[in-house]
Structure 1
């Protein structure tokens, strides 16, 4: 199964260090969270990082370019963890499925600020949108393939792998609606709960 990028040897997919965003993107992310995409201006961002407008335009073109750069960073970060979690499970299909669900849960908690931007891709023009969707759509494709693999091996019993993959992604995406870092559950605990929900949905019932 081929995903996006090669992950460095020894990378621990369960550990989330800060994403090294350049100052322009870090400032933009803060404004997008506080003011929304439409409420943020390029002038706001330039002022916060002490740059002139022409300098900011030179680096990212416009506000759409900044949004794309943040979305691209979010997807690259997800796939660094996603690729590593699949490799960590080697040829064990059920473990690969569980790890992938867990990595999604960790993405929506540890990276909530970036993950909240995923729905903003609708503001991208055709070229940027197409580039972003290559990496985003691959998430559903990989998950569907894992479910199909489980069916083929007799581990899972899923009538419609495509619809089930979409349902699982919808369930995991709902974490963004309620998760707060000040809540009682850690990202790891939340990811573990969701992984158990997911495996119950796909696992073949024991023979009577």
Structure 2
């Protein structure tokens, strides 16, 4: 990753790439280990050498997805510095770009949380909560600075997260709205949601 705005193909092993493709098409429960192995060009025993179960593939994929999301979010905040509005804009832009460029990974993560083993689900929810705290903190910082007028910062934070995550369910690279245009529009909507008020 050169900067948090730069995206190339996802850095996935052949088994994880195959699992992602199959989970996105058929869902976790609709996918067999045999199908994943075939997509990866491996035998079933060969696949099990790398990942001992279908659940381990889901967990491995989810860990990589959340790790990249959090890394990019933290990089965006670090680059933005201490200005509350700059931090808010950078964090939202990072989330939006991630859910455009990693839409399949984000979609599988958000829809297959129900399929995760309970112990790992707790870990995954912890990652998700960490991301949500970044959003909540950015909103609260804007409120504290007098930039945002929302009387409900926690609700605003949840709504912003839902808005960004939702992009992964409908965005298409060949659609009418390019990434930069989408970011511009959604930042306008995000600022409106928190009641942004420019200072003199």
TM-score normalized by structure 1? 0.88
1:12 Cα deviation from its structure 2 partner? 1.2
Q: Which of 142, 147, 151 does residue 143 from structure 2 map onto? A: 151
Which residue number corresponds to residue 74 of structure 2? 83
Q: Which of 34, 38, 48 does residue 47 from structure 1 map onto? A: 38
Q: 1:95 to 1:48 in 2, by over 3 A?
A: same
- CA RMSD, aligned part only? 1.7
Contact 1:105 1:191 in 2 (8 A): yes
Contact 2:103 2:169 in 1 (8 A): no
Q: Take 1:171 and 1:46, find their aligned partners in 2: how far apart are those partners? A: 35
1:82 Cα deviation from its structure 2 partner? 0.8
Residues 1:180 and 2:172 aligned together: yes
Structure 1: which 5+ residue stretches go unaligned? 1-7
Contact 2:84 2:141 in 1 (8 A): yes
Range with bigger deviation, 136-145 or 51-60: 51-60
TM-score normalized by structure 2? 0.91
Q: Which of 58, 72, 78 does residue 67 from structure 1 map onto? A: 58
Q: 1:206 to 1:19 in 2, by over 3 A?
A: closer
Contact 1:151 1:157 in 2 (8 A): yes
Q: Take 1:124 and 1:175, find their aligned partners in 2: how far apart are those partners? A: 23
**1:52-104 per-position Cα deviation (integer Å, ceiling 9, x unaligned):** 32332232221111111111111111122111110110111111001111111
Contact 2:143 2:150 in 1 (8 A): yes
1:141 Cα deviation from its structure 2 partner? 1.0
Deviating runs (4+, > 3 A) in structure 1? Answer: 203-207
1:200 Cα deviation from its structure 2 partner? 1.8
Q: Take 2:27 and 2:142, find their aligned partners in 1: how far apart are those partners? A: 40
Structure 2: which 5+ residue stretches go unaligned? none
Contact 1:103 1:191 in 2 (8 A): no
Which residue number corresponds to residue 13 of structure 1? 4
Which residue number corresponds to residue 14 of structure 2? 23
1:206 Cα deviation from its structure 2 partner? 6.0
Which residue number corresponds to residue 3 of structure 1? none
Matches within 5 A, 1:106-121: 106-118=97-109, 119-121=111-113
Q: Take 1:177 and 1:50, find their aligned partners in 2: how far apart are those partners? A: 28
> Aligned pairs, how many?
198
Q: 1:89 to 1:202 in 2, by over 3 A?
A: same
